[in-house]
Amino acid sequence: MSRSKRRPTLTDSVQAASIAHRFYLRGESKLDIAEAFGISRFKVARILDAALEQGLVRVEFDLPAPVDVGLCEELRSAYGLRRALVLERAPGKQTRPEMRRRIGALAAELLTEIVTKDDVIGLAWARSVNVMTEAIRSLPPCPIVQLCGVQAGMDMYDRSVETVSRLAAVSGGDAYPIFGPLVLPDRRTTETLRKQPGIAETFGQFRNLTKAVVSIGAWQPGESTVYDALGPAEREAIGKRGAKAEVSARLFDADGNALSTGLSHHVLAISAEELRQVPEVIALGYSTPKAEAIDAVLRSGMVSTLITDADTAQLTLELAAKRPPRPRRAASA
């Protein structure tokens, strides 16, 4: 975006703008324009390039949502995602709840749009996902499946345990909630709970999922509900195994490989394998400390859509640039 060698003259600027007008807005060919101005088509092309380069001609996007197209596209192609939505940098410092609300609203808009009546929707239990459901006003009548147990933190609303039921009420489809904690004390309790009628039924729905909304956590304090729910010993043990990211209590290392640790045996949550089978996984991750975790999860290839904010997107892209991920879908440089 160097704007060196400014075009100083009004004459040239107007000519360049006129050419750009005819080319971009009126769709005339460079050949015709060249003839009309009595210059060569090469010159037309060069004037056009220079005008864009120097900012004389700007191409802008008017999206129905505050999304940064450039970052979206870079993320999408860097990790071979189906799509990426990057929230525009808002003026001024954003608080975390504000950011969560904006991310949630964006996710809500996306979900409302892409869901059809034949879908089976999974929701991980996370603050941003809860906020998203609050912003959903209507949805086709499809089943809503809870993907993991509830971890009541101090700043959670009571109604958040009812996220799944609430969204099912909006959609008019069946609700498959999990009334049980995300993290349990031991393996035996976990297995017992999984066999409970309601919970077993929900786990049975995992194979039918067509869309899932999850949140990306980083393996550090305050950036993952699971991390915060564990004791110091297990936190550290898992960290030493190289865990960088957590998605619905499933762990990933920096390369996006699923880590199998003891943790998997005492949480109520969809397995990494089942989650990977879901055709559309929408991942929310919205604060700069999570960049590394987002990078890790995207490398796993499990996520089809990422929703994040501009700052985090930028950081994540830097990580991608340092250590290019192998291309997934049809990606390009």
Closest CA to 224 of 263, 257, 170, 194: 263
The least CB distance from residue 78 to its own copies, in Å, is 12
Q: How far is the CB of 143 from DNA (least distance, A)?
A: 23
**Residue position matching structure tokens 């003839």:** 35
Two tokens at 170? Answer: 């909006």
Distances in Å between the Cα of 136 and the Cα atoms of 43, 162, 168, 263, 305 are 52, 14, 11, 33, 18
Cα separation, 204 vs 145, in Å, equals: 10
Window 37-66: contact mask with DNA (x via CB under 7 A): --xxxxx-xx--------------------
Cβ 309 to its own copies shortest distance, Å: 15
Report yes or no: 264 and 243 within 8 Å, Cβ to Cβ.
no
The residue behind tokens 């349990």 is 184
Q: Which C-beta is closer to DNA: that of 31 or that of 200?
A: 31
211-230: which residues touch DNA (CB under 7 A)? Answer: none
Which listed option, its own copies, DNA, none, makes contact with residue 72 (CB within 5 to 8 Å by class)? Answer: its own copies
AA identity, residue 272: A
Q: Which of 1, 10, 26, 27 binds DNA (CB under 7 A)?
A: 27
Pairing mode, strands 245-247 and 211-218: antiparallel
Q: Which does 41 bind (CB under 5 to 8 A by kind): its own copies, DNA, none?
A: DNA
Closer Cβ to DNA, 17 or 254, answer by number? 17
Which residue, 41 or 328, is less far from DNA as judged by CB? 41
Mask 67-96, x = binds its own copies (CB under 8 A)?
x-xx-xx--xx-----x-x-----------
Helical spans, DSSP H, in 206-309: 225-229, 232-240, 272-277, 291-299
Residue 29 makes contact with DNA by CB under 7 A:
yes
> Cα–Cα–Cα angle for 247, 253, 257, nearest 5°?
85
- 14 makes contact, choosing from DNA, its own copies, none, with CB < 5 to 8 Å by partner type, with its own copies
Which stretch in 209-217, 223-231, 272-280, 323-331 sits in contact with its own copies by CB under 8 A? Answer: 323-331
Taking the C-alpha atoms of residue 282 and residue 318, their distance in angstroms, rounded to an integer, is 22
Name the residue nearer to DNA (CB basis): 31 or 90.
Answer: 31
Angle at 110 between CA 297 and CA 221, to 5 degrees: 35
C-alpha to C-alpha distance for 318 and 75, rounded to whole angstroms: 10
Q: Residue 328, interface with DNA (CB under 7 A)? A: no
Binding stretches for DNA (CB under 7 A): 27, 29-32, 39-43, 45-46
Binding stretches for its own copies (CB under 8 A): 9-11, 13-15, 17-18, 20-22, 24-25, 28, 32, 35-38, 52, 55-65, 67, 69-70, 72-73, 76-77, 83, 85, 109-110, 113-114, 329-332
